Amino acid sequence: MRITIFCLLLLLSSTFLTAQNKKQYRVGAIGFYNFENLFDIEDDPAIRDEEYTPNGSRNWTEELYQTKLDNLAKVVSEMGTDLTPDGMSLLGVSEVENRRVLEDFVIQPAVKKRNYQIVHFDSPDRRGIDVALLYQPKYFKVEQAQAIPVEIFEGNGDRKYTRDVLFVSGKFDQDLIHVFVNHWPSRSGGAAASQAYRNAAAMEVKLVCDSLLLADPKAKIVIMGDLNDDPSSPSVKKVLNAKYKPKALKGPGFFNPMHAYFKKGIGTLAYRDAWNLFDQIIISEGLLNSSESGYQYYKAQIFSPKYLYQKTGNFKGYPFRTFGGNTYLGGYSDHFPVYIFLIKSV
């Protein structure tokens, strides 16, 4: 999509465009959404999905499954449409059971015309929940994709199975972009006690990023996902070394645009009446340098229209989720989605 931007468009080079200096830009949007337990209704004996079956504790029926798909499609269909009717060019997702649920999602009426294609690998997570990347082929052409294992171990030496990191490289229009889709280990047992697990996941991402940046210091990299950590957490701030301001980068490195929201107390999920910002999109310096050709970062957003808030009950004011315990609420997800806009002068 092309847009004409008239006034007070601030680019990261700190230059302004005014009505006397209008320019046209091609816009792309990259987002992430935790689909919150998108399971089909079949019992897969290889994973712990029994609760999401018709006879399970949540009485998960075909009707509820289809309602969930419809709800999620409504949200995705509206994300980013303030600047582009095409919405999300790329969408990372988490908490999806398998490829089948993704195939069912992309044919939902609200998003079917976008022709989303799927990149997905089964991960070793005990519950069977995976990450995936959906993309519109008019914007993105996959060149390579792989699952990066996150091998972590309990204190007794037993393997703690968690989600792989999905790594996808491809051409975004004509730009080579590298995308990491993450769902890092949870805070089960406490944030401090489990911090090392998320640090390990962050390190797996960092090692691949280091190789990419060594080969090309201007590499365009997007790290997205439910990190189960905030922008100020060690995994993000120290391991990834994601900076809060673009000017803090003195060379190849990462900028976290979500920190500005976090600093204001704005989050993507709530727990015990406190907000966290676990859903993040972090970008490399190559997407910040306006002197370079191709797509550059414009802005980041949390998508949280009024209908995505719980209106009543114990979770009033929280993201409107599908279940509260085993009680069906009929909502969307317990996370808000996030996205960034990239723009290219034309």
Domain residue limits, the chain: 31-345
Query: 199-256: per-residue pLDDT in tens?
Result: 999 999 999 999 999 999 999 999 999 999 999 999 999 999 999 999 999 889 999 9
Distance between CA atoms of residues 230 and 345, nearest Å: 33
DSSP class of 215: H
Residue 3 reports pLDDT greater than 90: no
Task: Give the pLDDT score at 12.
Answer: 29
DSSP class of 23: E
The residue to which tokens 């391991």 are assigned: 239
The domain defined by 31-345 carries CATH number 3.60.10.10:
yes
* 164-172: average pLDDT: 98
Do 332 and 322 meet the contact criterion of CB atoms below 8 Å apart? yes
Do 137 and 90 meet the contact criterion of CB atoms below 8 Å apart? no
pTM of the shown model: 0.94
Query: 188-211: per-residue pLDDT in tens?
Result: 999 999 999 999 999 999 999 999
Distance between CA atoms of residues 150 and 298, nearest Å: 31
Question: Considering the chain, what is the average pLDDT of its residues?
Answer: 92
Distance between CA atoms of residues 80 and 144, nearest Å: 26
Residue 340 reports pLDDT greater than 90: yes
Residue 11 reports pLDDT greater than 70: no
Task: Give the pLDDT score at 155.
Answer: 82
Residue 1 reports pLDDT greater than 80: no
Q: Which two tokens stand for residue 237?
A: 């701030």
Q: Is 181 helix (H, G, I), strand (E, B) or coil?
A: strand
Task: Give the pLDDT score at 293.
Answer: 80
What CA dihedral angle connects 168, 171, 175 and 181, to 10 degrees? Answer: -20
Do 206 and 239 meet the contact criterion of CB atoms below 8 Å apart? yes
Do 49 and 122 meet the contact criterion of CB atoms below 8 Å apart? no
Query: 306-328: per-residue pLDDT in tens?
Result: 999 999 998 999 999 999 999 99
Query: 34-60: per-residue pLDDT in tens?
Result: 999 999 999 999 999 999 999 999 999
Query: 77-133: per-residue pLDDT in tens?
Result: 999 999 999 999 999 999 999 999 999 999 999 999 999 999 999 999 999 999 999
Distance between CA atoms of residues 70 and 276, nearest Å: 26
Length of the chain (residues): 346
* 285-297: average pLDDT: 86
Task: Give the pLDDT score at 290.
Answer: 66
